[in-house]
Structure 1
C-alpha cells in the first residue's frame, strides 16, 4: 500500500514530456527525426528483448548521438540477462533504461515479460535491482499498466508500486488502462480497455516519491498540460507520431524556446542524414516513412503524404523529398494569394 516519501537522485534526468516506445515506429531514424523537432522531449527506443540483444546478429543498440536524451526499453525477465543488457546500454551512453511491464502480446507473454509481469511484483523489483546494481549511474525505470485481466483493483497496482518503492525505482510510467492478456490483440489493448486517469492521479498522490508519468489516449498538447496538474510528466504515443509538429510545440509552448520555426527547416535538417544513410546502402523509405505526418493539418498535407508514400518505397535518392517541399511551397503561395485576394475584397466592401 502507499508508502512514505523516499528521496531519489533523479532530478537531473527529469523530462516532463516523452515519446512512447512504439514497435516498428520509434526506430533510430524516427528518433533522429523527432530530435530535429525538439531538444527537450525524452525519446524511447522500441522495446528490444534481452535475447535479441545477446544472441541476435544485428546491433540493436545502435543510435545517433544527436538523439540524446534517449532511453532504451528492454523486454525480459531473466535477471542476469537484464543486468548484462543494462551494462551494454550504459556503455553505449543511453540516458535511461526502462523495463517493459505493459506489453500484452501473446509472444511477449510466452517469453514471460511485458504486462504479465504485473502478476509477479517481486520479480519485477528483483529485475530493477539487478539492473540498478549493474549500472548505478543510469536511472532504471518501469513502464506498466493499471492491471491485467480481472486483476484491475487499485490494490493490485499498489502491490507492484510497493515493490518498486522498496528498490527505489525513480520513475514509473503508467499507461492509464489495464491490459487484457486473453482475447484482445496489442492493437485492441491500446483502445478497448477504458482509460482511468483518476487512478493514475491517485497513484501519484499516494506515492509522491515517484517521478510518475501518464500515458494513454493523449491527443493534444492542451490535454497533456491538464495532466501535468496531477502528475510529473506525460508520455505521448501515436498522436506524436502522426502529428510530429506537436514536439516542436512542446518546446515552444512549454519550454519557451523552439528548436525550429518552420517545417521546411526540419526537412532541410533531415537531408544530410538521409544522404549519409543512402551512401551506406540504406533505403530512402526507411527514414522518410516517419516523416509522412510532418505537415498534418496544413494545406497540401495530403499531397505530401501521397507523394512520399508512392515514390518513397522505390526511391534511391532524396528527390521525392525535394519534390514534396516544392509542392508544399507552391501550395503555401496559392494559399497566401487567396488570403490576400480575399482581404482586398473585404477591404473594398468595408469602404463601400
Structure 2
C-alpha cells in the first residue's frame, strides 16, 4: 500500500489527543513543595483583585490561556472549534497545535482557521516548530490572523516518535531569523520537558522576549509517543526533564528581561497562583480544559474556567495581593526535592521565603 504522508499525519494528530486523555499516570507534583506563608490580615477585599495582564504587544484579560493542543484532522478541528468558543466566552487567549499539517495540506487548514472564525476578536497564538522556514511561519500567522506566534521545542518527543526528526542543529539560528522578521510577539515554548538557565540564556542572546517554560508534570509526549511504538521500549524516560516549579526557579535571573509563561502540570488555581508568584506572566492550561470538554461538554468547560478565575481571586485575597506585581512580593517556602535541586544549582530560595511584607 502506498504511504500517504498527509493521512499518516492526520492519524497521528488523533492519536495524540486520544493518548493524552488516557495518560493519567501523573507523578507526585513539585507544586506541593511550594507553600505560601499565611498572614492573618490581608487588608484587601475580593473585589480589589485585578487579574488583567499587560505585556509588550500583548494585552491579556486573564493570566490564563488555553495552550497549544491540536488541529490537523477532522476530529481535532472540531475540538479547536469548541476551544475557541470557550476562549471567547471566558475572554482568555488561546493557542492552536502545530500548524504544519494545515500548511502542508490545504484541506486541513480549516481545522485551524475555525479558531479565528469562532473567536474573531480574541487573542490567538499560531504555532510552528523550530525547524520551519520563515515563509512557513508567516503563513501560519496569516492563517489565523494571529496575535502571537508560538515556536515549539520538542526534541525528546521527536526522538521517541517513530517517524520523528533526528537532527536539531539548525533550531537556534532559525528561531533568530523568525524573530527578526515577525512583527508580533514570538513565544518560544517547550512541550512539557521544562527549561534550564542555559536554554534561557541562549534564547535571550538571540533576542527572544517571550518564553513558555512548559515543565514536566502534565501531558507527557515521551509517554504518548512511546505508546505509539510497537515495543514501547522508552517507558523509562517518562520522567525526563524539569518540572514547571523547577523551571520557573531556573528562570529567576531572567524574570526582569523576558516575559516568562508557565505551563505543564498545573492542576488547580493554587498551582497557577504559585506560578504567578514565582514571576510567570501567564499560565497555560491544556489537559485540564480538554478533559472537561471531552467528558462534560463546552458549557461545563466554560464554567470550569470561570471557577478557576474566581478561585484565583480568592487565593490572592487571602494573600493580600491585589495584582500580579504584589503577588511576586509574598513569601513562598520551598521544600523537598525542589529545595534540593535549588541548593545544588545555587538558586537563592531563602530570599524567596523571606521576601515582601512579613
Question: Could you say which TM-score interval applies, normalised by the shorter chain?
Answer: 0.5 to 0.7
Report the CA distance shift for 1:219/1:186 in structure 2 as closer, same or farther (over 3 A).
Answer: farther
Whose Rg is larger?
1
| Corresponding position of 2:126 | 72
CA contact (8 A) 1:221 1:246 kept: no
| Corresponding position of 1:212 | 260
Distance 1:190 1:215 in 2: 20
Distance 2:313 2:136 in 1: 33
Q: Deviations over 1:7-32 (max 9, x none)?
A: xx952315421112223657431222
After TM superposition, the score normalised by the length of structure 1 is: 0.54
Name structure 1 gaps, 5 residues minimum.
Answer: 1-8, 257-352
SS at match of 1:37: helix
Q: Deviations over 1:218-240 (max 9, x none)?
A: 12122211221102221112112
- The correspondence of residues 1-352 of structure 1 with structure 2, limited to 5 A, is 10-13=55-58, 15=60, 16-23=63-70, 27-39=79-91, 41-49=92-100, 52-60=102-110, 61-63=112-114, 64-67=116-119, 68-75=122-129, 77-78=131-132, 80=133, 83-91=134-142, 92-102=144-154, 104-105=157-158, 110-112=163-165, 117=168, 120=169, 123-136=170-183, 138-144=184-190, 157-177=196-216, 185=226, 192-193=239-240, 196-208=243-255, 209-230=257-278, 231-243=280-292, 244=301, 245-252=303-310
CA contact (8 A) 1:76 1:112 kept: no
Report the CA distance shift for 1:205/1:146 in structure 2 as closer, same or farther (over 3 A).
Answer: farther
Task: Give the CA RMSD over aligned residues.
Answer: 3.8
CA contact (8 A) 2:127 2:140 kept: no
- Structure 1 stretches of at least 4 aligned residues deviating more than 6 Å after TM superposition: 186-191
Return the offset for 1:124: 2.9
Report the CA distance shift for 1:189/1:33 in structure 2 as closer, same or farther (over 3 A).
Answer: farther
SS at match of 2:125: strand
Report the CA distance shift for 1:194/1:43 in structure 2 as closer, same or farther (over 3 A).
Answer: same
Report the CA distance shift for 1:89/1:200 in structure 2 as closer, same or farther (over 3 A).
Answer: same
CA contact (8 A) 1:176 1:197 kept: yes
Report the CA distance shift for 1:199/1:14 in structure 2 as closer, same or farther (over 3 A).
Answer: farther
Name structure 2 gaps, 5 residues minimum.
Answer: 1-53, 229-234, 293-300, 315-358
After TM superposition, the score normalised by the length of structure 2 is: 0.53
Greater RCO (CA < 8 Å, at least 6 residues apart)? 2
Return the offset for 1:34: 1.3
Report the CA distance shift for 1:223/1:160 in structure 2 as closer, same or farther (over 3 A).
Answer: closer
Distance 1:210 1:253 in 2: 27
